[in-house]
Structure 1
Amino acid sequence: MIAIAISAGFVMISVAILLNAVRLFLGPTRGDRILALDTMVINAIALIVLIGIHERTTFYFEAALLMAMVGFVGTVAYAKFLLRGDIVE
């Protein structure tokens, strides 16, 4: 039963990442692109956690935590750059 749930999770997260990529490239505004990139990072984190569950190891959970921190900082930096024109004041 868990194998079917993991397989369905892989399919759903892959479709979500694909749809985020479409929004990232076709987004009408820069704000839409920032949100698509942030959502893509969240979906990638979910994919990494799902791989960790599938492989039954904790290494992937640590990688997901690091990716979450880097994704958050990247999103904040990109949004600040669009608003002010520079990142460091």
Structure 2
Amino acid sequence: MWTSACIHEFEMCIARLTAATGFPLSWVDNPEWITFLNKFLPGAPIVTRRSLTARIIPDLVKDFRSQAKTKAEGHNGIFQADCWT
């Protein structure tokens, strides 16, 4: 049974997998992937490119920011960025 918590965790894993592998966002719309999901993970939510960009990735970024702020609280740090971008 896919509870809302399980769906949320699945979506976060798909977003992290997308980033970790360097896959284009369109991979989640690939018919082979959808066939794989339907065959081996029946009832799994179908994550779309739109849901990744509009909701899932922004939620994941919020989580990462919150974790980073918590871990950095009370510590000194240096931030560096190049001026080319």
Flag whether TM exceeds 0.5 (same fold): no
What is the TM-score of this pair, normalised by structure 2? 0.37
Q: Which has the higher helix share?
A: 1
Structure number with the bigger relative contact order (C-alpha 8 A, sep ≥ 6) is 2
What is the TM-score of this pair, normalised by structure 1? 0.36
